[in-house]
Amino acid sequence: MLPETITIGGIYLPVFLGFLGVTAVLYFGLRRVSQRLHLYRLFWHPALAGAAAFVIMLSCLLLWFGP
Protein backbone atom coordinates (compact mmCIF):
# COMPACT_ATOMS: atom_id res chain seq x y z
CA MET A 1 0.00 0.00 0.00
CA LEU A 2 1.33 3.41 -0.95
CA PRO A 3 1.56 6.27 1.53
CA GLU A 4 -0.67 9.29 0.95
CA THR A 5 2.24 11.73 0.88
CA ILE A 6 5.86 11.73 -0.25
CA THR A 7 8.42 13.70 1.73
CA ILE A 8 11.16 15.39 -0.31
CA GLY A 9 13.47 17.65 1.69
CA GLY A 10 10.88 18.18 4.40
CA ILE A 11 8.17 19.15 1.92
CA TYR A 12 5.11 16.93 1.85
CA LEU A 13 3.83 16.21 -1.65
CA PRO A 14 0.81 14.13 -2.67
CA VAL A 15 1.50 10.74 -4.25
CA PHE A 16 -0.50 11.87 -7.29
CA LEU A 17 2.31 14.32 -8.09
CA GLY A 18 4.69 11.38 -8.34
CA PHE A 19 2.34 9.64 -10.76
CA LEU A 20 2.17 12.83 -12.85
CA GLY A 21 5.97 12.99 -12.99
CA VAL A 22 6.34 9.36 -14.08
CA THR A 23 3.60 9.81 -16.67
CA ALA A 24 5.30 12.96 -18.02
CA VAL A 25 8.58 11.10 -18.51
CA LEU A 26 6.79 8.23 -20.29
CA TYR A 27 4.75 10.65 -22.39
CA PHE A 28 7.77 12.62 -23.60
CA GLY A 29 9.47 9.37 -24.58
CA LEU A 30 6.38 8.23 -26.48
CA ARG A 31 6.04 11.65 -28.09
CA ARG A 32 9.63 11.61 -29.28
CA VAL A 33 9.21 8.16 -30.84
CA SER A 34 5.90 9.23 -32.41
CA GLN A 35 7.48 12.30 -33.97
CA ARG A 36 10.40 10.33 -35.40
CA LEU A 37 8.01 7.80 -36.95
CA HIS A 38 5.67 10.59 -38.15
CA LEU A 39 2.70 9.03 -36.34
CA TYR A 40 1.19 12.41 -35.48
CA ARG A 41 0.27 12.98 -39.12
CA LEU A 42 -2.36 10.25 -38.72
CA PHE A 43 -4.36 12.41 -36.29
CA TRP A 44 -6.64 15.28 -37.17
CA HIS A 45 -5.57 17.21 -34.05
CA PRO A 46 -2.09 16.14 -32.85
CA ALA A 47 -2.28 18.12 -29.58
CA LEU A 48 -5.56 16.45 -28.68
CA ALA A 49 -4.10 13.03 -29.46
CA GLY A 50 -1.12 13.83 -27.21
CA ALA A 51 -3.37 14.94 -24.36
CA ALA A 52 -5.47 11.80 -24.72
CA ALA A 53 -2.32 9.64 -24.65
CA PHE A 54 -1.20 11.40 -21.46
CA VAL A 55 -4.55 10.84 -19.75
CA ILE A 56 -4.64 7.18 -20.82
CA MET A 57 -1.11 6.56 -19.53
CA LEU A 58 -1.87 8.33 -16.24
CA SER A 59 -5.06 6.31 -15.80
CA CYS A 60 -3.26 3.04 -16.47
CA LEU A 61 -0.52 3.87 -13.96
CA LEU A 62 -3.08 4.80 -11.32
CA LEU A 63 -5.07 1.62 -11.91
CA TRP A 64 -2.01 -0.62 -11.75
CA PHE A 65 0.01 1.02 -8.98
CA GLY A 66 -2.36 3.46 -7.32
CA PRO A 67 -3.53 3.51 -3.74
DSSP 49-66: HHHHHHHHHHHHHHHHH-
User: What pLDDT does 1 receive?
Assistant: 54
- At residue 7, the pLDDT reads 82
DSSP label at 21? H
- Check: pTM over 0.85? Answer yes or no: no
pLDDT higher for 21 or 66? 21
Between the CA of residue 66 and those of 20, 55, 58, 61, what are the distances in Å? 12, 15, 10, 7
Residues with Cβ within 8 Å of 5's Cβ and at least 6 positions away in sequence, in order, are 12, 13, 14, 15
Asked if 23 contacts 61 with a C-beta cutoff of 8 angstroms, the reply is yes
pLDDT digits (tens, 9 = 90+) for 5-55: 888 888 888 888 989 999 999 999 999 999 999 998 999 999 999 999 999
